């Protein structure tokens, strides 16, 4: 029991430190992005959250009322959202959304390659489920679908079960998932979900540094700005790759 409490305290401390560091990094990136002519300044952005200073000079934060849950679809995602949500940190404090970038190859058809992005919050229908209802509404059993997902985190157990059901009933769909992070991978039900995906023929991969660069070039509104990968990107990839290998062995 004492060990469990200590691990929980250690995790909370790491999450707090990571959140502070991410906030500083995103502010610096926002300043640099503005200097290069892209997006609003961080001063403009901050006025959405801060109203005024109190007598001691401390900023007063106005509570924000979140809009109703919805799935957001498009073909490009915000660069700051990408750098925060796709960052492959071990402790993902504050990252309560799933971003799913997808490529769909229907084989020898005139439609070419289908590309886009989905965004959700963990409070309703997740991006994985929405993909099959919104992005493949005209599913054709005579075609061979090769689908690639680039996700900010791996599927939860409920989504894994739904994906397995699709793969088992629609044998002409081949799915590969590249994930930036493993979602709650210490939980047994999550591990079982990943194993069931693997057994159903889904290829599971962790994102390498080159994959992040590909997403930046292909799915992000980057304003022709280069991607500067975070310092521990490769180390984090190796960490998650080892964890995934242990789960699927």
Active site residues: 128
DSSP codes of every residue in the chain: -HHHHHHHHHHHHHHHHHHHHHHHHHHHHHHHHHHTT-S--HHHHHTTTEEEE-TTSPEEEPP-PPPPP--EEES-B-HHHHHHHT---SS-TT--EEEEEEEEE-SS-TT-EEEEEEEEETTSS-HHHHIIIII-TT--TTS-EEEEEEESS---HHHHHHHHHHHHH-TTEEEEEEESS-TTTTSHHHHHHHHHHHHTT-EEEEPPHHHHHHHHHHHB--TTPPP---TTHHHHHHHHHHHHHHHH-
């Amino acid at each position: 029991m004492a060990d469990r409490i200590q691990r929980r305290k250690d995790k909370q401390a790491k999450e707090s430190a990571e959140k502070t560091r991410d906030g500083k990094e995103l502010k610096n990136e926002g300043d640099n992005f503005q200097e290069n002519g892209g997006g609003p300044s961080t001063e403009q952005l901050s006025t959405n959250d801060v109203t005024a200073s109190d007598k001691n000079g401390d900023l007063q934060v106005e509570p924000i009322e979140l809009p109703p849950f919805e799935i957001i679809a498009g073909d490009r995602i915000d660069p700051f959202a990408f750098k925060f949500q796709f960052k492959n940190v071990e402790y993902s404090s504050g990252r309560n959304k799933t971003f799913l970038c997808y490529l769909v190859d229907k084989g020898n058809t005139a439609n070419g390659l289908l590309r886009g992005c989905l965004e959700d919050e963990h409070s309703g229908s997740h991006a994985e489920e929405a993909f099959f209802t919104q992005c493949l509404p005209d599913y054709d059993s005579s075609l061979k679908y090769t689908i690639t997902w680039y996700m900010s985190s791996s599927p939860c157990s409920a989504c894994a079960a739904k994906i397995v059901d699709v793969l088992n009933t629609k044998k002409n769909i081949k799915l590969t998932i590249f994930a930036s992070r493993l979602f709650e991978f210490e939980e047994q039900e999550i591990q079982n979900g990943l194993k069931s995906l693997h057994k159903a023929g889904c290829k599971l991969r962790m994102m390498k540094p080159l994959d992040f660069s590909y997403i930046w070039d292909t799915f992000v509104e980057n304003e022709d700005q280069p991607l500067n990968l975070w310092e521990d990107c490769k180390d984090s990839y190796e960490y998650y790759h080892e964890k995934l290998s242990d789960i699927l062995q």
